[in-house]
Structure 1
């Protein structure tokens, strides 16, 4: 029997005031049976992609929010140091300053772990009282509703999932995320997920989520950026996001994070008006 699709209702405000209607919901496509998906997930060693994962109109609404109503920060690293630059700060940088940042990223990427992409810090924004609450945070609440958690516990076979963290990502031409495992020191991360909201992506544009054979370094599987698809995989596992090509004309949108077994940083409910 197909489980009931999780639903979300809630009012959301920002500097633009009302931005998420009481009548709008996020729903998993009821055509998907989590028990059947669990068999496919286990058969590939704890990894899968599910197309048409959400109800189509809900996925379209999230795509539009990511494209037009989301504040994008710049994320990159300098060795172990993480840089997360908000849009207000980026606007103050001159072109020579930006070029210097990008040149350093390219230099470090030749020999070590490196990444460069745009992101929106959904979990910190949700719990930080002074940060604006954008409409994309509705997806974070949806992911943490009891019905959604139960759905993913069934799908992954991991009964100890307690909550889901999230950040939105945007990869443009020249953006990339080198090989890593998503492993964490205390083992709080159970499963990684990527909710894809990318339209019209061409296969030659790069930006694939790639998984590697640990012995040969060959790519054993890769998922093309897509619209309304979810990628799931147990962690730790070697993977990367290939560089988006210089001639790519599209934008790679997603909401991504981990199903976690530790305690959440706070309670989930309506963002206060």
Structure 2
């Protein structure tokens, strides 16, 4: 990575040219967003020793559970937890994946460096003038002020059911996903799927390596369940682009 270790946007990106594409549907899949070497460094960091926890909800309450804690849970308690997750997913909003809340760590000054340095540098870049200026030019939205971020890992069986990201007081303008899985097939699941008013999937994006997916909030969407036969983990950095 260049300079202070921050990633670089690909040199051929023209936000003025891309803006009409984004404004047509309020969403965009943009491949090749970073310099290839920088994208590889971020992907390798996500595949390394990230301090993941299990993120899920039970009866409407969110939980972040350490992986070691989950492994040490008595089998009967684990079966009860799994059953509660599946029951909620059948009828309402539910998610199940691994996460590391990059914003919380960085904003609290808990910088770890080492193998995690590319992710920490990415967070700084997302909140710097180059990326925020690019997003303002792409979307035509001058209120863009900052990004939050978390690293996510979807393994076989993981999912995120339909929702629209519209939470009062959060001032979310856009949601984004930066994908860093080296290779992925559409039939492995893990698709970012957008729903229309009739409940159909209007469009879906494969988590292509080094691609930015960005969409206006609110917008109904989900991450389809990763198949049991998927050939790897779905790795990404995701969050919201917000105003103050």
Tell me which interval the TM-score lies in, with the shorter structure as reference length. over 0.9
How far apart are the structure 2 equivalents of 1:116 and 1:153?
A: 32
Match of 1:268 in 2: none
1:199 positional shift? 1.9
Q: Which moved more, 1:113-122 or 1:34-43?
A: 34-43
- 1:31 paired with 2:23, answer no
TM-score (norm 1): 0.83
Question: In 1, distance between residues paired with 2:79 and 2:124?
Answer: 38
Residue 99 in 1 paired to residue 79 in 2? yes
In the alignment, structure 1 residue 160 sits paired with structure 2 residue 104: no
Root mean square deviation, CA, Å: 1.8
Any gaps of 5 or more consecutive residues in structure 1? 1-6, 11-23, 263-273
| Higher percent of residues as helix | 2
CA distance in 1, matches of 2:112, 2:209: 27
Q: 1:25 to 1:186 in 2, by over 3 A?
A: closer
Residue in 1 that maps onto 2:204: 222
2:218 to 236, 258, 263: 236
Check whether the contact 1:196–1:253 (CA below 8 A) recurs between aligned residues: yes
TM-score, length-scaled by structure 2: 0.92
Aligned pairs for 1:157-196 (under 5 A) are: 157-186=140-169, 188-196=171-179
Match of 1:61 among 15, 26, 41: 41
SS at match of 2:93: coil
Aligned pairs, number: 241
Tell me the CA shift for residue 251 of structure 1. Answer: 0.7
Closer/same/farther in 2, CA of residues 77 and 84 from structure 1, 3 Å limit: same
Task: Compute the displacement of 1:202 (Å).
Answer: 1.6
- CA deviation after TM superposition for structure 1 residue 117, in Å: 0.5
Shift of 1:172: 0.7
Question: How far 1:132 sits from its partner (Å)?
Answer: 4.6
Secondary structure (helix, strand or coil) at the match of 1:68 reads coil
Residue 186 of structure 1, CA deviation: 2.4
**Alignment partners' CA distance in 2, 1:187 and 1:108:** 24
C-alpha spacing 1:168/1:130, structure 2 compared with 1 (3 Å): closer
Q: Superposition pairs for residues 1-273 of structure 1, below 5 Å?
A: 9-10=3-4, 24-43=5-24, 45-129=25-109, 132=112, 134-135=116-117, 136-186=119-169, 188-214=171-197, 216-262=198-244
